[in-house]
Structure 1
Amino acid sequence: MRAHRPGWEEPHVPRQVDYEERRRRIGEAVVALIARAGMEAVSLRDVAAEADVSMGAVQRCFRTKEEMLLFALQDISAQVTERADERIAADEAPRAAGTLLAHTLAEMALVDAESAARARVWLAFVAHAPTSERLSAVLHETYARLHELIAWLIGYGQRTGEIAGDVDADREARELVALADGLTVRAVAGHGEPEEALAMLRERVERLLVGGCGPQ
């Protein structure tokens, strides 16, 4: 038994708090609030209540509301790009470029029921970006990575002979990312069914393939 002088209190050792885990919880709370009630719902009090932490804990993790939003956007952006990458890496065996393109674009479009909350949050950040250079920069970087990924897949199709060599991969990638983005807007607005959106993506990809209608 450890001895100590009479009248002295044992030194209090604070419980170690996983700082990154708390930041993650707060980020998830921000995303949940935006998905339910929009960007206006993100306040210090409401985020703390949603994350089940004190307002002081939120302030220790994030100095400003913009920092909270930035962290949440970076997490959403990572999810979008990681899900697209996972589609490509799902099988060890080589897969057809057209299949990879269609599946990757489907992940980017966020049109299924599982992706509905992320789609609402993504568009809320897009709408808010003009008021924040830092948020705008994250969105710009995310779109650049998605464009690079789609252009690489088109190049892969050209190397395997599935897509004609004279196709402009950069231009086609821009158009495909824009199509996926537009379908996200349609899904959030409740216009059309997920199956219809996915069919539009497949048809657009098929026009790229040798033997298809060709790019337009």
Structure 2
Amino acid sequence: MGRVPKKVDHRERRELIAGALMRVAADGGLEAISLRHVAAEAGVTTGMVQHYFATKDDMMRFALNGIMERTTARIEAAMARLRQPAAPADLVRTLLRTLMPLDDDRRADGRVGLAFLAYSAVEPGAADLLRDGTRQMAGFLADQIRAAQAAGTVAPHLDADAAGAGLLGLMEGLSLYLLGGHYTGETALGALDAHLNLIFGNT
């Protein structure tokens, strides 16, 4: 009696390879990435890597999507834990805190995210993905500031779009200092809260 062929989970294989790519990138940067290095890290052959990803760019885009999906899941879980209905200030604070590299998983994703940011300067596909994410987050922050203005808790003259873009830039800058070991988590969160209090008051 013949042996039944094992069913291959192609999504699982692709995620295994993309996970290996992210570990290589986290340890050595994007310049360390090659089909051979990723295959060795994943424990598979270079032929298998090429079967699932025709080019290095294909691998990079798949891995970047994985980071974005994990980040979205973290944000949704953090938002779901808020007391409902959540105030705009709480939504903003939760989003920005969740995006900051304050634990091992987020630090690993953050290091790879930095590498992808540099990669996006020369790869239009990656740049589009990152720009879309930036627009969505900045828009969400601006919308929450406008909601607080409508409720009378934020000054009506404040430019919500500019303030939202500034908060996003602040979070990214603090994240860079966290990844570089310049700030502790306590220092970074204190700086974030100080700026949030300037916009929303001491909420």
The verdict on a shared fold, with TM-score over 0.5 as the criterion, is yes
The CA distance in 1 between the partners of 2:153 and 2:61, in whole Å, is 40
Note if 1:154 corresponds to 2:145.
Answer: yes
CA separation of 1:96 and 1:61: change in aligned 2, threshold 3 A: same
> Does 2:70 match 1:66?
no
Per the alignment, residue 5 of structure 1 pairs with: none
Shift of 1:165: 3.3
Matching residue of 1:187: 178
1:97 aligns with 2:88: yes
Alignment match of 1:84 (pick from 75, 84, 87): 75
Please tell me whether the aligned partners of residues 26 and 58 of structure 1 are also in contact (alpha carbons under 8 angstroms): yes
Please state how far the C-alpha of 1:113 moved relative to its aligned partner. 4.3
State how 1:118-137 maps to structure 2 within 5 Å: 118-137=109-128
Q: 2:22 aligns with which of 31, 36, 42?
A: 31
1:174 aligns with 2:154: no
Kindly provide the amino acid, as one letter, of the partner of residue 26 in structure 2.
A
Q: Deviations over 1:113-142 (max 9, x none)?
A: 442211111111111211211111111111
Pair 1:109–1:72, CA change in 2 (3 A): same
Judged with a 3 Å threshold, the aligned counterparts in structure 2 of structure 1 residues 156 and 112 are, in CA distance, closer, same or farther, namely farther
* In structure 2, distance between residues paired with 1:158 and 1:104: 19
CA contact (8 A) 1:162 1:209 kept: yes
Higher fraction of helix: 2
The letter for the 1-side match of 2:108 is: A
SS in 2 for 1:164: coil
Q: Which has the larger radius of gyration?
A: 1
Q: 1:110 aligns with which of 69, 89, 101?
A: 101
Identity %: 33
Structure 2 unaligned runs (5+)? none
For the 8 Å contact 1:81–1:146, the answer to whether it is kept is no
Per the alignment, do residues 113 and 195 of structure 1 end up closer, same or farther by CA in structure 2, a change over 3 Å counting? farther
**Could you tell me how far apart the structure 2 residues matched to 1:53 and 1:29 are?**
10
184-193 or 89-98: bigger deviation: 89-98
In the alignment, what sits opposite 1:198?
189
When residues 44 and 114 of structure 1 are mapped into structure 2, their CA distance, relative to the original with a 3 A threshold, is closer
The Cα of 1:143 is off from its aligned counterpart by 0.9
The farther-off stretch of 42-51 and 199-208 is: 42-51
1:80 shift after superposition = 2.5
Cα contact 1:111–1:194 (8 A) shared by 2: yes
**Which 10-residue stretch deviates more, 125-134 or 159-168?**
159-168
Q: SS where residue 95 of structure 1 aligns?
A: coil
Number of aligned residue pairs: 203
Inter-partner Cα distance in structure 1 for 2:56 and 2:202: 52
- Using the TM superposition, give the Cα deviation of residue 84 of structure 1 relative to its aligned residue in structure 2, in angstroms: 2.5
Q: Could you tell me which amino acid in structure 1 is paired with residue 89 of structure 2?
A: G
Secondary structure at the aligned position of 1:26 is classed as: helix
Q: Is the 8 A contact 2:101 2:179 kept in 1?
A: no
SS of equivalent to 2:156: coil
User: Partner amino acid for 2:53?
Assistant: F
The code of the aligned residue for 2:170 comes to: L
